[in-house]
Structure 1
Amino acid sequence: MTADYLRTALTFRLAVADDAAEIARIHVKAWQAAYRSIFPAVYLDSLSVPRRQVLWAQLIARGMPRVMLAQRDEVMLGWIAWGASRDYDSGKTDAEIEAIYIDPPHWREGAGRMLIDEAINAAASEGYRQMTLWALEENVRGLRFYKALGFALDGVFRTERVGGCEVCETRLRIAI
């Protein structure tokens, strides 16, 4: 499929409360598929769609971060959450992609790239000039994807404790 076809075949819209269940389902399924080699199976298998649904319903109601969906024929392929950067060293013109997840059966179809394009364009229209995101250092596929889109490592790292594991995240940045 060409990028032009994909762009016309996909629609993008902001999430509403009724989308929380499908956002949560994709969130859990994508974590289980993408991070199987990073986190213990017992942790990944314990991820709860109902708990994530409550979280996403609250975030959507609050309006921050903004959550944008990619759909084809009313089927949600994935979503992106973005807003003002939460980092201690950020400026007023720094935006952040807080999360992006694509339903695993739809990986490598272009929805992720187009969601990032949509978020960058929306952020630029609001006056942001930089977009950052955090990625697990062990997420080689994700890092390769972000770098192919023009994001670059900016030398900032952080350690998080997730699922009983200590993981290192690296920040990537792009001028918009």
Structure 2
Amino acid sequence: MSSTTTFKVRPATLRDAKTIAELHNMTVREAYKALLGDTPIPTMPLDKRQAYWREAIEYSEPQVQVALDDDKIVGFVGFDRSRDKGTPPTMGEIWAIYVTPDYWAKGVGLALWDAAREGLQDEGCTHVSVWVPIANERAMRFHELAGFKREMSTAKTVPIGAAKIEEIRLKRALN
């Protein structure tokens, strides 16, 4: 695969739910290794994660798109209106964006972000937010390069199994 590879992004189908669930669990483990050290990284049982993504795909809550390298799913994004209390209906949210580690820094995330941005604009959203662990330098860098800005007053502690991590909301306009 060359650095000029482009990735096709399409709406997820119900048949994609298992692959999305597997990719989600694997990527969470990899991404959280650096954040949690020796603390065991909890992952949702595959059947529950698959049921979640199956329902999301079926009801478009959130909307789910997958990135493909040929016919292989290498990433996915879930997006919809913001779940945060008090946000206007024009505020969208990236609920999840994950890329298999073998494809990190190869343009998959950008292709998924472009698809989510277009989908949110089609829904009438003018702004978008995303929650990111502060210590996840890769995710923070990706979103900041995509134009997101940290909202410092939103930092919160989130339990991840026996550990706790700090998350912060990032936001940007969709224009």
Q: CA deviation at 1:158?
A: 2.2
Aligned-residue CA RMSD (Å)? 1.7
Give 5+ residue unaligned stretches, structure 2.
none
**Structure 2 counterpart SS, 1:50:** helix
> Corresponding residue for 1:88?
85
Q: Is the 8 A contact 2:21 2:46 kept in 1?
A: yes
Unmatched tracts of structure 1, length 5 or more:
none
Q: Which amino acid aligns with 2:5?
A: L
Query: Which residue identity lines up with residue 120 of structure 2 in the other structure?
Result: A
Work out whether residues 82 and 92 of structure 2, in 8 Å CA contact, stay in contact via their aligned partners in 1: yes
Equivalent pairs, count: 172
Distance change (3 Å), C-alpha of 1:147 and 1:58:
same
1:14-163 matches, cutoff 5 A = 14-39=11-36, 43-44=40-41, 47-155=44-152, 156-163=154-161
Partner Cα separation in structure 2 for residue 25 and residue 41 of structure 1: 22
Cα drift, residue 127 of structure 1: 1.2
Task: Answer whether contact 2:76 2:112 (CA < 8 A) is retained.
Answer: yes
Q: Which contiguous aligned blocks of 4+ residues in structure 1 show a shift greater than 6 angstroms?
A: none
Q: TM-score, normalised by structure 1?
A: 0.90
For 1:136 and 1:23, the matched residues in 2 are separated by 21
Give the residue type in structure 2 aligned to 1:145.
F
TM-score in terms of structure 2 length: 0.91
Of 137-146 and 44-53, more deviation after overlay is shown by: 44-53
The Cα offsets for residues 53-105 of structure 1, whole Å up to 9 and x where unpaired, read as: 12211222222000000002101010000000000131111000000000111
Aligned-pair identity (%): 28
Q: Which has the higher helix share?
A: 1
Matches of 2:26 and 2:120, distance apart in 1: 27
What residue in structure 2 maps to residue 11 of structure 1?
8
C-alpha distance in 2 between matches for 1:101 and 1:130: 21
Q: Does the CA contact (< 8 Å) of 2:93 and 2:129 recur in 1?
A: yes
